[in-house]
């Protein structure tokens, strides 16, 4: 099962290596990984998606929690959360296909952020399924390059268990 794990960690050199080492040392592959600042300059937020056995990942999560630089760890897998990813994609776009592409991008609430004579760069944000669907439609047109941020996630459930989003 795929696990979405978020961590708040001290913004220190070596933290990333420590965390990645702990997970990859168990033979697990981190599928996506995102690190960014938070409102506290001393703290960074990491989000990662790791497919693997539930029991082992629970243990890995507990080991992560033990690391000195890790302030908190949350495995969101069994909870309500929103997961978003940003995709930048360069597709072949000869004049005659441009309108078709623009229509698709519009449908997916994306944006065309660069146009050149033979290609365009598209930006789309969304959950995994949405990005997959768009990619499947763009593939036949010729994907020249692609970059994805990997998911970032936030929990939506309040402490009382009620959710007020989505």
Partner 1 sequence: MRTGAQCIIDGLQQAGVDRLFGIPGGTVLDIFELLYHAPIGFVLARHEQGAVHMADGYARASGLTGACIVTSGPGATNAVTGLATANMDGVPLVCIAGQVPSHMIGNDAFQEADTTGMTRGITKHNYLVRDVDELPRIMCEAFRLAADGKPGPVLIDVPKDIQRAQTAAVCDGKTGVRGSKPLPDCEAAVDALAEAIKRARKPVLFVGGGVIAGDAAAELQAVAQRARIPVTTTLMGLGAFPETDPLSLRMLGMHGSVAANRAVSACDLLISVGARFDDRVTGKIDQFAPNAVIAHIDIDPSAISKSVPVRIPVVGHVKTVLTRLLERLEPVTQREWLNEVAAWQKEYPFAYQNEDGKLASQYVIESVYHATDGKAAIVTDVGQHQMWAAHYYKYSQPRSFISSGGLGTMGFGLPAAIGAQFACPDRTVVLIAGDGSIQMNFQELVVAVEHRLPINVVVLNNGHLGMVRQWQEMFYRREYSATRLGQGERGKNERIVVHEKDRYLPDFVKLAEAHGAFATRVDAPEALPGALRDAIAADGPALVECMVKPEENVYPMVPPGASLIEMVHSMA
From 11, 16, 18, 155, residue interacting with partner 1 (rule: CB under 8 A): 18
Q: Total binding residues for partner 1 by CB under 8 A?
A: 14
**Closest separation between CB of residue 66 and partner 1, Å?**
6
Instruction: Output 25 or 106, the one with its CB closest to partner 1.
Output: 25
Max Cα–Cα distance, the chain, nearest Å: 57
Instruction: Output 6 or 131, the one with its CB closest to partner 1.
Output: 6
Instruction: State the Cα torsion 49-60-36-76 to the nearest 10°.
Output: 60
- What number of H helices and E strands is found in the chain? 4, 9
| Neighbouring residues of 133: CB distance < 8 A, sequence distance ≥ 6 | 108
- Nearest-10 crossing angle of helices 54-66, 15-24: 150
Instruction: Output 55 or 116, the one with its CB closest to partner 1.
Output: 55
- Strand spans (E) along the chain: 2-10, 32-37, 43-51, 70-75, 81-92, 111-115, 119-126, 143-148, 152-155
**Closest separation between CB of residue 85 and partner 1, Å?**
29
Per-residue contact flags (x/-) with partner 1 for residues 34 to 73, judged by CB under 8 A: ---------------------x---x--xx-xxxx-----
| Neighbouring residues of 108: CB distance < 8 A, sequence distance ≥ 6 | 124, 126, 130, 133, 134
**Closest separation between CB of residue 65 and partner 1, Å?**
7
Asked if 128 is part of the footprint of partner 1 (rule: CB under 8 A), the reply reads: no
Instruction: Output 13 or 27, the one with its CB closest to partner 1.
Output: 13
Instruction: Output 33 or 91, the one with its CB closest to partner 1.
Output: 33
Contact positions vs partner 1 (CB under 8 A): 13-14, 17-18, 21, 25, 55, 59, 62-63, 65-68
């Amino acid at each position: 099962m795929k696990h979405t794990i978020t961590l708040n960690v001290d913004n220190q050199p070596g933290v990333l290596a420590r965390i990645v080492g702990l997970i990859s040392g168990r033979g697990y592959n981190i599928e996506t990984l995102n690190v960014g600042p938070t409102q506290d300059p001393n703290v960074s937020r990491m989000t990662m998606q790791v497919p693997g056995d539930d029991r082992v990942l629970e243990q890995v999560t507990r080991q992560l929690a033990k690391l000195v630089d890790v302030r908190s760890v949350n495995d969101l897998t069994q909870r309500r959360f929103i997961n978003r990813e940003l995709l930048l994609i360069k597709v072949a776009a000869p004049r005659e296909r441009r309108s078709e592409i623009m229509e698709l991008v519009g449908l997916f609430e994306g944006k065309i952020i660069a146009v050149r004579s033979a290609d365009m760069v598209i930006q789309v944000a969304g959950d995994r399924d949405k990005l997959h669907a768009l990619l499947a439609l763009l593939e036949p047109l010729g994907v020249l390059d692609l970059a994805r941020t990997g998911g970032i996630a936030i929990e939506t459930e309040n402490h009382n268990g009620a959710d007020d989003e989505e």
